[in-house]
A and B are shown apart, each in its own frame.
Chain A
Amino acid sequence: MLKISPDKLQPGMKLVKPVISNNGMVLLGEGMELTEKWIQRIVDMGIENLYVEGSQEPAVPKEELLAQLEARFKYIQDCPYMVLINKAVSEHIEAMYE
């Protein structure tokens, strides 16, 4: 899933989530393929975030996320279950970059 702003929309992109107007109405259902005309309407209505097919790598490099993780756990590595939690989070971060 890729989150993008309306100005980056291209015809042919497929919605992963429905487009919801600012007053809560569903305008376009998920799975719809965007056309030039729909994109113009989305822009006109000032809808902010859209979700289309595609993948998004985290903006921060993996090594940096893992280093930050280590810093957050610096003082509590010896506490019960924290190793298990630390390991789960680090595997989760690794998986984000696969």
Chain B
Amino acid sequence: MSSQIIKVNQARIENIGALPTVPGTLKLISSVIANPMLTLDEISRFVSNDPALTAKVLKMVNSAAFGFPGRISSVSHAIMLLGLNVVRGLLLGISVFEIMEKVMAGLWGHSLACASAARTIALQRGLANPEEISVAGLLHDMGKVLLILEYPKQYEEVMNKANSAGVTVIEMESEYFSDPHPSVGKWLGAKWNFPRNLLEVIAFHHSPEKAKLAPMEAAIVHLSDILVRARGIGFAGDPFVPAVNPAAFEKINPSAEEIKMVLERIETTLESEG
């Protein structure tokens, strides 16, 4: 056990773009998406000016995680269909998790599969905003990325200890850090003016009973996280499946058939992602 709990520095997390290890694209993207007055036109122009980013956004929106396979061919079309908030979340997801693949291989796969699972469950329950729930699934673990960027050595220790002690990283985090990854993710999301529902899902994906504004969304992302780990897809920092929150499970109340449908969607997402 560590002798001393690290006080996670909120101001530094909120200014993550200033870290030398953060590449220029993310700095630029963060300066664009943090603007609360951002218009559709501005974000569309920003993305379209960067061919590599355009290709990634289009690949993502045409993947099973968003459910418009092969049908969206331009950034402005994507924004019209998905809405500004979803595209903002997407841009952040794409840029943040790209850095991560180098440090924590598999987190992108985990996040993408969660996005797909969350969307599928949202559709099964007839929710009105499946794309927003997809983005919540995509970004739920962004706090892990931030903790690793800020405290790389300590986080590696957390992962190793979790592995050998047979617990999940979220449980081990509390022995090292003053604030666990859901809170840390929420800080940055709040700083970047994410919608409040999305902030709640990020903050409470391990404790969905605390969600007030978006309890169903939080329950869905919580269950998605568990199903993706149960299937063993991607890597979220530890090799174990956390126990599902019974109240969250009952809120969604999926049948065994519905769970299998979600698992099938996850397979297709990954096939198309490569």
**A and B from one complex:** yes
A residues with a Cβ closer than 8 A to B are 1, 3, 17-18, 20, 22-26, 30, 48-49, 51, 65, 68-69, 71-76, 79-82, 84-89, 91-92, 95-96
Contact A23 B244 (CB under 8 A): no
Contact A76 B242 (CB under 8 A): yes
Q: Mind listing 19 A-B residue pairs with CB under 8 Å?
A: A3-B271, A20-B58, A24-B54, A24-B74, A26-B70, A48-B274, A69-B230, A71-B239, A72-B230, A79-B244, A80-B243, A80-B244, A81-B246, A82-B243, A85-B226, A85-B230, A85-B241, A89-B230, A89-B263
> In the complex, which residues of chain B have a beta carbon less than 8 angstroms from the beta carbon of A96?
267
B82-109 toward A: CB 8 Å interface, digit per residue (1/0)?
0000000000000000000000000000
The A/B interface has a contact count, at CB < 8 Å, of 93
Contact B229 A72 (CB under 8 A): yes
Name the residue on B nearest A2 (C-beta). B271
Contact B227 A72 (CB under 8 A): no
In this complex, the interface size class of chain B, counting residues with CB under 8 Å from chain A, is 35 or more
Contact A18 B70 (CB under 8 A): yes
- Find residues 204-245 in chain B having any chain A CB closer than 8 Å to their own CB: 226-227, 229-232, 239-244
Name the residue on B nearest A88 (C-beta). B259
> In the complex, which residues of chain B have a beta carbon less than 8 angstroms from the beta carbon of A86?
230
> In the complex, which residues of chain A have a beta carbon less than 8 angstroms from the beta carbon of B51?
23
Q: Is B264 an interface residue (CB 8 A)?
A: yes
> In the complex, which residues of chain A have a beta carbon less than 8 angstroms from the beta carbon of B263?
88-89, 92
Contact B239 A72 (CB under 8 A): yes
B127-166 toward A: CB 8 Å interface, digit per residue (1/0)?
0000000000000000000000000000000000000001
Contact B55 A87 (CB under 8 A): no
Q: How far is the CB of B271 from chain A (nearest CB, A)?
A: 6
Answer whether A3 and B244 are a contact pair too, CB < 8 Å, given A17-B70, A24-B55, A89-B263.
no
* Bound Cα distance from A82 to B29, whole angstroms: 40
Q: Is B260 an interface residue (CB 8 A)?
A: yes
